[in-house]
Structure 1
Amino acid sequence: MSEHSNDRNVQRAANLDTASISDALDRLGIAGQCHAIAPVDSTFRMTGRAFTVLYGPAQTPPGTVGDFIDDVPAASVVVIDNDGCSNATVWGDIMTELAHRRGIAGTVIDGICRDVALCTEIGYPVYSRGHWMRTGKDRVQVEAVNVPVNIGGARVKAGDILRGDADGVVVVPSEHEDKVLDVAEEIERVENRIRGAVRDGARLDDARREFGYHALQSRK
Structure 2
Amino acid sequence: MSELNTNDANVARAAHLDTASLSDAMDRLGINGQCYKLAPRDNGFRMAGRAFTVLYGPAAKPAGTVGDFIDDVPAGGVVVLDNGGREDATVWGDIMTELAHKKGIAGTVIDGICRDVAMCRKLGYPVYSRGHWMRTGKDRVQVEAVNVPVNIGNVRVAPGDILRGDADGVVAIPREHEEQVLSVAEEIETAENRIREAVRNGSRLDEARKVNQYHQLQTKR
- TM-score band by shorter chain is over 0.9
Q: Is 1:3–1:73's contact at 8 Å kept on the other side of the alignment?
A: no
Q: Is 2:4–2:49's contact at 8 Å kept on the other side of the alignment?
A: no
SS in 1 for 2:113: coil
Moved over 4 A (4+): none
Distance 2:136 2:217 in 1: 44
SS in 2 for 1:16: coil
Distance 1:213 1:87 in 2: 42
Residue 178 of structure 1: aligned partner: 179
Residue 161 of structure 1: aligned partner: 162
Q: Is 2:4–2:106's contact at 8 Å kept on the other side of the alignment?
A: no
SS in 2 for 1:78: strand
Opposite residue 17 of structure 1, the aligned amino acid is D
SS in 1 for 2:182: helix
Question: How many residues matched?
Answer: 219
Offset of residue 3 of structure 1:
8.0
Kindly provide the CA deviation profile for residues 132-167 of structure 1, in whole angstroms up to 9, marking residues without a partner as x. Answer: 000000000000011000111111000000000000
Distance 1:19 1:66 in 2: 32
SS in 2 for 1:214: helix
Residue 42 of structure 1: aligned partner: 43
Which has the larger displacement, 64-73 or 177-186?
Answer: 64-73
Offset of residue 113 of structure 1:
0.1
SS in 2 for 1:20: helix
Which structure 1 residue ranges, 5 or more long, are not aligned?
none
Offset of residue 5 of structure 1:
2.0
Distance 1:66 1:168 in 2: 25
Opposite residue 124 of structure 1, the aligned amino acid is Y
SS in 2 for 1:67: coil
Residue 92 of structure 1: aligned partner: 93
Distance 2:113 2:46 in 1: 18
The 5 A counterparts of 1:189-204 are 189-204=190-205
Residue 24 of structure 1: aligned partner: 25
Which structure 2 residue ranges, 5 or more long, are not aligned?
none
CA RMSD of superposed structures (Å): 0.8
The 5 A counterparts of 1:45-84 are 45-84=46-85
Instruction: Give TM-score scaled by structure 2 length.
Output: 0.98
Percent of residue pairs identical: 74
